[in-house]
Structure formats: C-alpha cells, structure tokens
Amino acid sequence: AQTVTQSQPEMSVQEAETVTLSCTYDTSENNYYLFWYKQPPSRQMILVIRQEAYKQQNATENRFSVNFQKAAKSFSLKISDSQLGDTAMYFCAFIGGSNYKLTFGKGTLLTVNP
C-alpha cells in the first residue's frame, strides 16, 4: 500500500521569503506521479505542481518548485517569494502503478505573514 507522510502540520513564513514543505512517500511501484495540491480558505482543491517519477528533472511552475529525490522517496515543495495568497493547506499526493487512486498526506497548513 502506498502512504504519503507530511511531517509538518503547520508552518509560517514572512511575505517575500522562501519556504520548503516536506513530503515523503512509500511505494514499491517504479512508475508513479507525485502532486502538490493547495487548499485555500475557500476549500477549493487546486493543483500546484506535478512530477513524473521517471523524470529526473525537478518540476517548476513559476514560484513553485519541487525537490524530487527518488531514492530517498522524498518530494518537497519550495515556494519562493511567498505571497499572502499562498496561505493555505498544502497536500502532497501520489498515484502509482495501475492504481488510479490519489493518495493524500495529512497536509501542512502554511501561513504567510505580512
């Protein structure tokens, strides 16, 4: 069974600074996909960034980037130049093999302070 662990229940960062959210996962699959979703106070689930396990290059989307360490089964999210609108719950998620189920971590509540 796949599991996703987010060890930081809450984090805070000052506006314009950089913050890194941690995520580790456990799987026996070789082919899988990893995602970070954002859930702001509106409760909408928004896809932030995705990474294919077979790609060594780390994914980047504007101010969001990941550090994907396949051997360590680690998938952290870095947010640069943090903005007040980045305040949200962030979920790490995994899909692997023939299983189409998206498995989520417990989430990290990020607060960006002015």
Partner 1 sequence: DSGVTQTPKHLITATGQRVTLRCSPRSGDLSVYWYQQSLDQGLQFLIQYYNGEERAKGNILERFSAQQFPDLHSELNLSSLELGDSALYFCASSVGTVNGYTFGSGTRLTVV
Stretch that binds partner 1, among 14-22, 37-45, 54-62, 72-80 (CB under 8 A): 37-45
DSSP 11-68: EEEETT--EEE--EEE-S-SSEEEEEEEE-TT---EEEEEEETT--SPPEETTEEEEE
Residue list 52-71, contact with partner 1 (CB under 8 A): 52
Choice between 28 and 42, CB closer to partner 1: 42
Contact 7, 20 (CB under 8 A): no
For residues 51 and 76, which CB has a smaller minimum distance to partner 1 in the complex? Answer: 51
User: Does residue number 103 form part of the binding site for partner 1 (CB under 8 A)?
Assistant: yes
Rounded to a whole number of angstroms, the minimum distance from the CB of residue 80 to partner 1 is: 22
Cα 105 to Cα 114: distance, rounded to the nearest angstrom = 28
Cβ-based nearer residue to partner 1, 27 or 82:
27
Contact region with partner 1 (CB under 8 A), list: 14-22, 45-53, 62-70, 72-80: 45-53
> In angstroms, how far is CA 28 from the centroid of its own chain?
20
Q: Report the alpha-carbon distance of residue 110 to residue 88 in Å, rounded.
A: 6
Q: Which is nearer to partner 1, 15 or 106 (CB)?
A: 106
